[in-house]
């Protein structure tokens, strides 16, 4: 099934995790926006290019259906799937007459839902070219997420021989532009100033081209500009970028909040960077636990252990695998001197230290992400009795 980008309406918080988990459990499904007020639906559909609107009708179907009928009859042509616990024939008939494409009763039959999405993905709207969105998230500050994001984008740009963008989502302290020694004139803030749908010309103006071919979207130049950037802005910009690039690598999000959840929803893969120290592993443990509770599909998560070889204190990868319930996807050796030197001169490792082990390890990560076989779901760690230092902490 081709990728299906959906907007979700749900005013029932108790059903949010179940609905999210059900939708994201289907291959190729991306939630690009979530709305909890019916009045905000027209604005959301205008701003976000989606393939399906999934609307949870409960607890008040009679209030939601008239709004959905207006949307179905409007200018924004988006198929609408309704979800409800009601099996009342009159309600279902009313929904279908109002332009609802599919009516799904709870508990949702995933096979029926997959078939419905499959029909949508075969349409002209759904088969539009979209690149892959990859986020790089630090399990804690200072673990090397920015360095990985920048160098990963450069390696993917070389492998794909196509267009690759790297985006800085640390709106106040981001260092992506500095790491590649580019001087932005326009930034993320400029793209968020315009409420209308982003045009290619606007995006091209905001992106800076690095010598490697990688394009950079920098953080805002001023602190005050960061205050006006919302989760909806970020999702809108990233969605537009993936329509124009083979890969979009994101440094961030830097906080696990409502805004970050919106970005994680639309990402194809999320790389979580950590080091073999207890506070960082514990933060990742809490992060993954929060994602599970919120219904995220953890098959899109990848653990990357950075600075292998500098650790001490008895923590090893087996401890981490058992504690987090997920195998580590990739390892990057400790070579702080080489990485620091590259950052100080504003060069990617591919040009400043092409034969270094740290560069080769990041290249290997890029090759895994570029090769579909490298994107297979990470197998969960075997259920073994935990021992060692981590067993006393978690």
State the Rg of the chain over Cα.
22
Q: Which of 165, 116, 137 is nearest to 6 (CA)?
A: 116
Q: Report the alpha-carbon distance of residue 214 to residue 156 in Å, rounded.
A: 9
Task: Give the pairing of strands 301-308 and 269-274.
Answer: parallel
What is the mean pLDDT of the segment spanning 322-330? 93
Q: Which of 167, 230, 170, 164 is nearest to 195 (CA)?
A: 230
What ranges in 140-277 are assigned the alpha helix state H? 145-160, 176-179, 188-192, 200-206, 223-226, 231-242, 258-266
The single residue listed with the structure tokens 């690009």 is 32
- pLDDT at res. 77: 80
Give pTM, 2 decimals: 0.76
292's tokens: 């599970």
Instruction: Identify which has the larger pLDDT, 390 or 199.
Output: 199
Q: Which domains does the chain have, with CATH numbers?
A: 4-121 (3.40.50.2300), 132-392 (3.40.50.300)
Q: Is the pLDDT of residue 348 over 80?
A: yes
Q: Is the pLDDT of residue 225 over 60?
A: yes
Cβ contacts of 109 within 8 Å, gap of 6 or more: none
70's tokens: 């207006």
Which stretch of 200-204, 221-225, 356-360 has the lowest confidence by average pLDDT?
A: 200-204
- pLDDT at res. 379: 46
**pLDDT tens digits, 374-393:** 555 554 444 344 445 565 55
**pLDDT tens digits, 238-276:** 988 998 899 999 999 987 766 687 888 888 899 999 999
Task: Give the pairing of strands 208-209 and 215-217.
Answer: antiparallel
Instruction: Identify which has the larger pLDDT, 85 or 77.
Output: 85
């Amino acid at each position: 099934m081709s990728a299906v980008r959906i907007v979700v309406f749900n005013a029932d918080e108790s059903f949010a995790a179940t609905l999210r988990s059900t939708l994201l459990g289907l291959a190729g499904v991306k939630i690009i926006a979530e709305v909890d007020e019916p009045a905000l639906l027209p604005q959301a559909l205008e701003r976000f290019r989606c393939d399906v609107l999934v609307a949870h009708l409960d607890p008040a179907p009679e209030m939601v259906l008239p709004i959905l009928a207006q949307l179905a009859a409007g200018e924004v042509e988006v198929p609408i799937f309704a979800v409800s616990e009601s099996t009342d024939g009159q309600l279902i008939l009313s929904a279908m007459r109002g332009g609802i494409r599919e009516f799904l009763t709870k508990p949702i039959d995933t096979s029926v839902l997959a078939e419905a999405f499959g029909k949508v993905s075969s349409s002209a709207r759904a088969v539009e070219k979209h690149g892959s969105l990859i986020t790089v998230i630090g399990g804690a500050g200072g673990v090397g997420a920015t360095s990985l994001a920048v160098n990963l984008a450069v390696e993917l740009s070389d492998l794909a021989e196509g267009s690759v963008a790297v985006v800085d989502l640390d709106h106040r302290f981001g260092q992506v532009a500095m790491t590649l020694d580019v001087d932005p004139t326009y930034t993320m803030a400029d793209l968020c100033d315009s409420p209308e749908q982003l045009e290619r010309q606007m995006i091209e103006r905001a992106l800076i081209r690095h010598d490697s071919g990688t394009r950079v979207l920098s953080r805002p130049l001023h602190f005050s500009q960061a205050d006006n950037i919302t989760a909806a802005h970020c999702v809108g910009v990233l969605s537009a970028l993936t329509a124009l690039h083979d890969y979009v690598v994101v440094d961030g999000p830097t906080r696990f909040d409502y805004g970050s959840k919106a970005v994680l929803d639309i990402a194809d893969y999320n790389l979580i960077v950590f080091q073999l120290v207890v506070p960082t592993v514990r933060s990742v443990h809490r992060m993954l636990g929060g994602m599970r509770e919120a219904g995220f599909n953890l098959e899109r998560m990848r653990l990357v252990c950075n600075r292998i070889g500098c650790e001490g204190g008895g923590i090893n990868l087996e401890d981490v695998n058992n504690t987090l319930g997920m195998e580590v996807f990739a390892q990057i050796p400790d070579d702080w001197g080489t990485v620091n030197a590259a950052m100080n001169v504003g060069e990617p490792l591919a040009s400043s230290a092409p034969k270094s082990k740290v560069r080769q390890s990041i290249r290997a990560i890029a090759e895994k992400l570029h090769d579909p076989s490298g994107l297979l779901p990470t197998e969960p760690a075997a259920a073994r009795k935990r021992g060692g230092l981590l067993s006393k902490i978690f």
